[in-house]
A and B are shown apart, each in its own frame.
Chain A
């Protein structure tokens, strides 16, 4: 086979090229791939405090909204109002506690003729009756629900923590997306102009991690990426899936 011609190679994934500050100040780029802002008084390579980072991301968002007056952007206060971790509503699963002991060891029981299906009623406990798989009790479901909530809570933590996500300038996800607003996970996959390709939610998360968060993109299997997807989806529970939406 001959080597592929230059033109047929896959286009390189786009990068947001940031302008360099004359004074060596820190420049923060927005996720649109165009807008950026020089932070006076902070040198490149330094990190912002949470208040500074919030101010910068707020100003960048304002600038973007000014440039895109017709953009679909839900009105949210640009000051992050992070609910405390663990405050994601846990499902009100009421675990069924086993019936309290009647006090005596049961004598007599049922006759050999009565079927095993009756056992369930007699003991008033979820009992596995024959099928190994799919025989799930309330307890199982409570464990699954709690496991899911822990995953979502971990995503909440990462989403609100610039360091956990590997950011270098102090900006965290919640600063532009308080409470995961305007992340619209239900609209993926879709063509994302600034990326120049069809993106999945994780691609967009990684794009934001490069700018403005200034971290290194996470691997698909990275527990932080998985947790953030869990959190972002959890925040849109009940919203209709609508892939490709602008």
Chain B
């Protein structure tokens, strides 16, 4: 029946040895940091960090210095941290980012927190690794504006401190690859998973208010957020890492026309060209299509993580939605119709109270270190609740055509998904109180 253990083991060893031959560095065993917070998965860490690129203290130190150094830009005014500001949750709180000479790009700066766990980088996934990603903003004319790699290397070489550091850390002189490796090493230390949500899901029922509990139930139920923003103990990011057209750009874009034009221009696989098209031209709105040239990817952008979402607004790839209430309005009416709209986009029929509950839940995903910021942000966003350009209650409630079924509205009096550990497996969340919500 069962094969003896030895057989399976030696097979595994053989397989491992074989793959190890191709890439010797994979044979190293690198363990995840011992102090991972509860909302960060050691399994995902191992899946996401290539062994030969695991952060070493020296690389991290150099990477952090480079990350914060404005001298990497053409006129010494912009560093990585300009748009990924540690005080602003490693984002910039602007709709779209601004690079050298105050030039604006077309995309919103995503947070770097937990970016190490992304399956691909950038809103359209045009870079597959953090190393690849780190290079492009330095060279983009509207971001840090350096003309080419050689210029970056030449400039860094004029700074004696870096000449010494590169020699010490990489045992060779300054080069663009190592620079990216160092920055990526620093980014691999920027994980975040110490939110109130993590306390709740690991058994502290009192960590959530009644509204937040209802919001978590809606998240997994009627609001259907978990269709794309799924999370579990192994992948606690609340993102499927896929690309979806949710109709954000459809307000202002004739997608089929743009796609036809784009097809003539895009050189698929040319990262640099895609980078410039994505950040400087109207082709930006083609999203994932720029990378794959597949029609279904027109206007599709990556599902971002919801960790720290409360403090990384404005929202969406173009920063066009100001508050989480706007985001909920957008989804509630099923997005904006366009030929490439994702099939999962349907009206939700959420009432105003239910929207409030989901937003309340989203605030619980903020890391403890940003609690003060989140509180301010909650007050600010709530202050904007009366201005809701995306709101279309008639569509959301099916009064303009009732297409599609609504997801079940969880009957919280009978069974609150929050109580039964939908998130993962080991949570045994006991009801906070017996009073009905």
Contact = CB atoms under 8 A, between A and B. Distances in A.
A158 to B, nearest CB: 9
- Looking at chain A's contact residues, the main secondary structure is loop
A112 interface: yes
B47 A130 contact: no
Contacts of B243: 128, 132
A132 B265 CA distance: 24
A225 B242 CA distance: 32
B425 A151 contact: yes
Report, as a range, how many residues of chain A touch the other chain: 35 or more
Given A92-B15, A143-B44, A100 B420 contact: no
Interface residues of B, number: 66
Contacts of B43: 143, 146, 150
B176 to A, nearest CB: 7
Given A97-B26, A123-B128, A130-B292, A118 B268 contact: yes
B428 A224 contact: yes
B268 A154 contact: no
A135 interface: yes
A118 B271 CA distance: 15
Nearest to B421: A223
B392 interface: no
A139 B119 CA distance: 8
A125 interface: yes
Contacts of B234: 143, 146-147, 150
B263 interface: yes
A132 B300 contact: yes
Interface in B120-134: 120, 125, 128-129, 131-132
A150 B135 contact: no
Nearest to B232: A147
A227 B425 contact: yes
A129 B234 CA distance: 25
A9 interface: no
A115 interface: yes
Specify which of B128, B180, B241, B273 lies most central, judged by the most chain A CB atoms within 10 Å of its CB: B128
Contacts of B180: 101
Interface in B250-264: 263-264
Interface in A142-186: 142-143, 146-147, 150-151, 154, 157
Interface of A: 89, 92, 94-95, 97-101, 103-112, 114-116, 118-119, 122-123, 125, 127-133, 135, 137, 139-140, 142-143, 146-147, 150-151, 154, 157, 221-224, 226-227, 230
Q: Which 7 pairs of residues, A with B, have the shortest CB-CB distance?
A: A109-B270, A116-B293, A130-B296, A130-B294, A109-B267, A223-B421, A109-B269
Given A112-B265, A129-B297, 15 more contacts: A94-B15, A101-B180, A106-B269, A109-B268, A110-B267, A111-B267, A116-B294, A122-B269, A132-B343, A139-B47, A140-B241, A147-B424, A150-B425, A157-B426, A223-B428
